[in-house]
Amino acid sequence: MIDPRAIVAPGAQLADDVEVGAFSVIGPDVVIGPGCWIGPHAVITGHTHLGVGNKVYQFASIGEAPQDKKYAGEPTGLTIGDRNVFREFCTMNRGTAHGHGVTRIGSDNLFMAYSHVAHDCVLGDKIVMANCVSLAGHVELGDWVIMSGYSAVHQFCKIGAHAFIANNTAVTRDVPPYVMAVGQPAVPHSVNSEGLKRRGFTPEQIRHIREGYKILYRNELPLAEAVKQLTERAAQQSELGAFVEFIGRSTRSLIR
C-alpha cells in the first residue's frame, strides 16, 4: 500500500491499510489511522495525528512548523479527526508553545486547493473552506461553517456554527452562528437560511433565528439589551442559545 518511491521515516505509525503515493514524505512523529489515503508528493510531518479515512491530495503540506517568529522548535502538534479531505496545496500548520500547543481539526471537513489553517486554530466538523481561504493563528470555526473562495480571517477571531462567509470577505471580528457575512471588513448580511434548511432546521426554528438576528442587528439595540432579549427567548427557543453562548465567548467583538 506504500509506493516504494515514498519516504516513510522510521518511527512513523501507519495503520496497515494506509495508502501512500509516490514521492510523498511521512515524518517520524506522524500517526496515520485506518483507511487514510495519502496521494503523491504530499508531505506530512511534525507531531501530527490523522484519524480514520482522511484523504490528502498531491502537494499538500500537513503538520509543518508554524509560521510564527516566536516559534523555537518546540514539539507542538496537529490533531486531525476523521474523513477530512485536503486538496492540492493545502497547508495545515501545527500549534505553538505560547498558544494551545496544538492545532485541532475535526471531522468530515473539506479543504479545497490552496486553503491554509495556521497555528493553534480550532476547527469543528463539516466545514468547507473553498479555494485560497486563509485562517490566521488562533482562529476558531464552529461546525458547518462555509468559507467562500479567497476569504480570510484575522488572528484570534471566532466564527460560529452554520455561518456563511462570502467570497473575498475579510473577517476582522467575530461572526455569530447562523450569520452570512460579506465585505472588507466583514459586516452582517442576513441569516444563512438555505444552509439551515439543508441541515434539517424546521421553518419555525429558522423563523426564530431570523427574529433573533433582527434583535441583534436590525433593532438598533445596545448589545447588552440584545443579549438580554435573546437570553429570554432562548428559554423557549433553544436554537437561540447558540447566539447567547457565542456572544459570551467573543473576545474580538462582533461584526456589527
Q: Which of these is catalytic: 95, 137, 142, 212?
A: 137
Phi then psi dihedrals of residue 242, to 5 deg: -65, -35
- Our answer to whether residue 119 is catalytic in this structure is yes
Burial of 111 (0-12, 13-18, 19+ CB in 10 A): buried
CA proximity to 105, closest of 155, 64, 49, 158 = 49
Burial of 133 (0-12, 13-18, 19+ CB in 10 A): buried
Q: State which H helix or E strand residue 37 sits in.
A: strand 37-38
- Our answer to whether residue 137 is catalytic in this structure is yes
- Our answer to whether residue 120 is catalytic in this structure is yes
- Percentage helix, strand, coil, to 5, in the chain? 20, 30, 55
Cell of 170: 475579510
| Calpha distance 160→190 (Å, rounded) | 14
| Calpha distance 13→57 (Å, rounded) | 19
Q: Which of these is catalytic: 49, 116, 119, 208?
A: 119
Q: Which of these is catalytic: 29, 82, 120, 143?
A: 120
CA proximity to 81, closest of 122, 116, 45 = 122
Would you please indicate which residues are annotated as catalytic (active-site) residues? Answer: 119-120, 137
